[in-house]
Structure 1
């Protein structure tokens, strides 16, 4: 798994976990704003970006791989912040390896499984080849709030995402439920959701928050499903304040 580090090597560590269909480059606006305030660890998850050759298999396997990254690079633990699919992995890490998660920032995580997931995955499998078409990828980029300066990265990585990775990562995403260990996580946790996201995402955020006593929840104004890309100034400020 490709891992990049940025910021001050002596600053508090933050692990950033990207969403499905993008890669570590999605955090570039956040990194620019954090500067030397943090030591930031940014993996490209399996099947994505520079880790595209190894297909995405499951959340469980990916969380274990990310835990090994933390064991090597931040054995004393790190703040873990994840977006969408990466937010589900953040929850899973906090639940299974709380020794490695000093605090959790959960951004736009779906935590209520969709009914009839096979129908959704069947349609996704049929349309998967479209991801390699530039015109279709551009439409997807707009829905994902990809800014112009990151469009080249998105188009490149969209074209090399395998059907296997697409189906596995989306399948895990739409079936995700909260692990039992989440309710026992003792460190600080913030749950974020965009004001303009779907009702499913609002309900999920409340479920995540209500399931963890002492956690905080915030609705981010003027945002859909793209808080770190729509409001990078605010997001970087929130991370810096929680260090």
Structure 2
């Protein structure tokens, strides 16, 4: 759990997406560390036994034990957003607020997809494929080596497990009982199922707002970092 900023200030807990690490929040850390205490854990995605639900429970316990006196807001992206949903679902009143970015909330159960994933694993070992992925996600070039090295840490079992956890995720029913402010965001060019998830989450959450990053895909924290930061900052000022 990497800390940044003044511990006396309100806390932002950033949860990264799949295939990347805490480094993905570099722009957000630099932007918010003057006014907030920031925590960035490295999620155990390369563990072949990784579980969204178990990770959520463990993070909730860590936050209660070590940061119980802080006003904590969750900021999660992709699988980190799913973990955030599970954290709030497991403990609906533990956090002050949550920003949920690009969360898949509709389970995908498809045997063809299972086969596709098995055959796609070798691509994760390819440096050329990693460069294409990094370009599509708009990763800063200075992070490419770290990104590629992290991709090599995935065994086939760990890769398939992470993808199945992501695709089979179901939002806990208790999440929709929370009264805390929630901000749901997506890019306008996200996959249809992510856009549908966004609508379902926003429609069924009591105290929610939504924001769409226009002409952006599944990479808002990178390609639209300035807009992302301003949207989060404005919302925090209004709800905290």
Relative to the length of structure 1, the TM-score reads 0.90
| In structure 2, distance between residues paired with 1:69 and 1:233 | 30
1:40 paired residue number:
38
Matches within 5 A, 1:58-77: 58-76=51-69, 77=71
- Which 4+ runs in 1 deviate beyond 4 A? none
Deviation at 1:210, TM superposition (A): 0.9
1:224 aligns with 2:208: no
Q: Is contact 1:4-1:43 (8 Å) kept? A: yes
Q: Is contact 1:16-1:81 (8 Å) kept? A: yes
Q: Is contact 2:76-2:100 (8 Å) kept? A: yes
| In structure 2, distance between residues paired with 1:195 and 1:130 | 27
2:150 paired residue number:
157
2:118 paired residue number:
125
Q: Is contact 2:93-2:179 (8 Å) kept? A: no
Segments of 5+ residues of structure 1 without an aligned counterpart are none
1:12 aligns with 2:10: yes
1:181 aligns with 2:195: no
Deviation at 1:100, TM superposition (A): 2.5
CA RMSD of aligned residues (A): 1.6
| In structure 2, distance between residues paired with 1:124 and 1:180 | 29
Q: 64, 75, 92: which is aligned to 1:98?
A: 92
Deviation at 1:224, TM superposition (A): 0.8
| In structure 1, distance between residues paired with 2:97 and 2:17 | 19
Q: Deviations over 1:87-121 (max 9, x none)?
A: 111111111112322101000001112241x3323
| In structure 1, distance between residues paired with 2:98 and 2:132 | 32
Relative to the length of structure 2, the TM-score reads 0.91
Segments of 5+ residues of structure 2 without an aligned counterpart are none
| In structure 1, distance between residues paired with 2:155 and 2:72 | 31
Q: How many residues align?
A: 235
| In structure 1, distance between residues paired with 2:23 and 2:79 | 15
Deviation at 1:27, TM superposition (A): 0.5
Matches within 5 A, 1:107-146: 107-116=101-110, 118-146=111-139
